[in-house]
Amino acid sequence: MQLHSTLNSCKMHIKYFGLVLAIAILGMGTAVAQNVALPKANKVFSVYAYICLGEDEQPVTTAADIQTEINKANVAFAPIGFSFRVCEVITIPDYYYRDIDEGNKLPELIDLHYKPEVINMYFTDAASGDDGSPLDGFGFMPGDEDVVVLGGNALDPASYSIIHQLGHFFGLYHTFEIEFGPELVSGSNCQVAGDLICDTEADPGTNQRNCNHGQPVADLQGDRYAPPFDNYMSFSECACRFTTEQYQRMYNVYNTARNYLK
Looking at residue 52, its pLDDT comes to 93
Cα separation values, 53 from 34, 61, 93, 118, 155, Å = 45, 9, 7, 22, 13
The alpha carbon of 67 is separated from its chain's Cα centroid by a whole number of angstroms, namely: 18
| CB atoms inside a 10 Å sphere around CB 214 | 10
Q: pTM surpassing 0.75?
A: yes
Q: What percent of the chain has pLDDT over 90?
A: 60
**What's the CATH number of domain 7-31+39-172+242-257, 3.40.390, 1.10.3470, 3.40.50, 3.30.310?**
3.40.390
The SS3 of residue 13 is: strand
pLDDT digits 0-9 by tens, 159-205: 899 999 999 999 999 999 999 999 999 999 999 999 999 999 999 88
For residues 83 and 43, the answer to whether their CB atoms sit within 8 Å is: yes
Sign of CA dihedral 193, 196, 201, 205: negative
pLDDT digits 0-9 by tens, 65-113: 999 999 999 999 999 999 999 999 999 998 888 888 888 888 999 999 9
For residues 231 and 152, the answer to whether their CB atoms sit within 8 Å is: no
Name the band, by pLDDT with cuts 50, 70 and 90, for residue 214: low
